[in-house]
Amino acid sequence: MQGSKLYVGNLAHSVTSKQLGELFSNYGEVKEVSRILGRDFGFVEMSNSAEAEKAKEALNGSDFEGRTLKVDEARPRRSEPRGGY
C-alpha cells in the first residue's frame, strides 16, 4: 500500500466520525476521519502506510454496527468535472 488514506464503505448511517476513529485507532494513529453524511462511506487517514495496511487487513470484511465493512486504499480525487462539456 502506498498511501495512508483508506476508503471505508458500507457504513451504517448511524456511524459517527468518532466511532470510526475509535475503531481504526486499534491499528495505529488516526490522523483524520471524514464521514460523508447521508452516504454509506467515509475516509480514514492513518499516520503511515504500514498502519493503514494493518487496519485494512483487519477490518475489510469485518462486521461493524451490523454491516460488513469494505476497506480499501483511497483513490485520488478526480480533478475533472463530471459534466459533458
CA–CA gap between residue 47 and residue 41 (Å, rounded): 20
Q: What's the fold here for domain 5-73?
A: Alpha-Beta Plaits (3.30.70)
Q: In this structure, what C-alpha cell is assigned to residue 15?
A: 456511524
* pLDDT value of residue 59: 98
Q: What is the pTM of this model?
A: 0.88
Which residue type occupies 71? V
* pLDDT value of residue 78: 72
pLDDT 10s per residue in the chain (85 long)? 688 999 999 999 999 999 999 999 999 999 999 999 899 999 999 999 999 999 999 999 999 999 999 999 998 877 666 665 5
* pLDDT value of residue 77: 75
CA dist 68 to 9, 11, 29, 30, 63, Å?
9, 8, 23, 21, 5
Domain ranges across the chain: 5-73
